[in-house]
C-alpha cells in the first residue's frame, strides 16, 4: 500500500542555518505530495504541495521538488528562523480516494536564536 517515510527528529538548528527534512514515498500511480506544518497548539496547515513529477512546491521560503525517479519530496529552506519551529509532516494523496491523505510520522524542528 501507499506509505510515506520521513526522517526522524527532533532536528535542532541555529537561526539562519540551512534546513533539509528528507521524505520518501511508496505509491502506485502518480500521487500528489504535500508538506504540512503544525505549530504549537494549532492544527495542521498545508505548507506546500506538488501534483506531478518535477513540480516544485514553495511557500514561506520552503521548497520541495517532486522527484519521481527517487520517489522523494525533500523539504528545504535556505535560512531558518525561530518562528519555523514546529512539527513538519510529509504526506501523499492517492487520486483514487478524493482528499484522503497518508501522513509520514512527522519531524519536530527546533530553531535556536
Partner 1 sequence: GAVVSQHPSRVICKSGTSVKIECRSLDFQATTMFWYRQFPKQSLMLMATSNEGSKATYEQGVEKDKFLINHASLTLSTLTVTSAHPEDSSFYICSAVPTSGGFYEQYFGPGTRLTVT
Residues in contact with partner 1 by the rule CB under 8 A: 4, 32, 34, 36, 41-46, 49, 51, 89, 93, 98-106
Whether the Cβ atoms of residue 3 and residue 87 lie closer than 8 Å to each other: no
Question: What's the distance, CA 86 to chain centroid?
Answer: 12
Cβ closest to partner 1, residue 60 vs residue 100: 100
Whether the Cβ atoms of residue 37 and residue 108 lie closer than 8 Å to each other: no
Whether the Cβ atoms of residue 21 and residue 7 lie closer than 8 Å to each other: yes
Cα angle 92-95-101, degrees, rounded to a multiple of 5: 35
Quote the least distance from Cβ 97 to partner 1, whole Å. Answer: 9
Quote the least distance from Cβ 102 to partner 1, whole Å. Answer: 7
Rounded Cα–Cα distance for residues 74 and 17 (Å): 16
Quote the least distance from Cβ 7 to partner 1, whole Å. Answer: 13
Quote the least distance from Cβ 43 to partner 1, whole Å. Answer: 4
Whether the Cβ atoms of residue 35 and residue 64 lie closer than 8 Å to each other: yes
Amino acid at each position: 500500500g501507499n506509505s510515506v517515510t520521513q526522517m526522524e527528529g527532533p532536528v535542532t538548528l541555529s537561526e539562519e542555518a540551512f534546513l533539509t527534512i528528507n521524505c520518501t514515498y511508496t505509491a502506485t500511480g502518480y500521487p500528489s505530495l504535500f508538506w504540512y506544518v503544525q505549530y504549537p497548539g494549532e492544527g495542521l496547515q498545508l505548507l506546500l504541495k506538488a501534483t506531478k513529477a518535477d513540480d516544485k512546491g514553495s511557500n514561506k521560503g520552503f521548497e520541495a521538488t517532486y522527484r519521481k525517479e527517487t520517489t522523494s519530496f525533500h523539504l528545504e529552506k535556505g535560512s531558518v528562523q525561530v518562528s519555523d519551529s514546529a512539527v513538519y509532516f510529509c504526506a501523499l494523496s492517492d487520486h483514487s480516494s478524493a482528499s484522503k491523505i497518508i501522513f509520514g510520522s512527522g519531524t519536530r524542528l527546533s530553531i535556536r536564536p
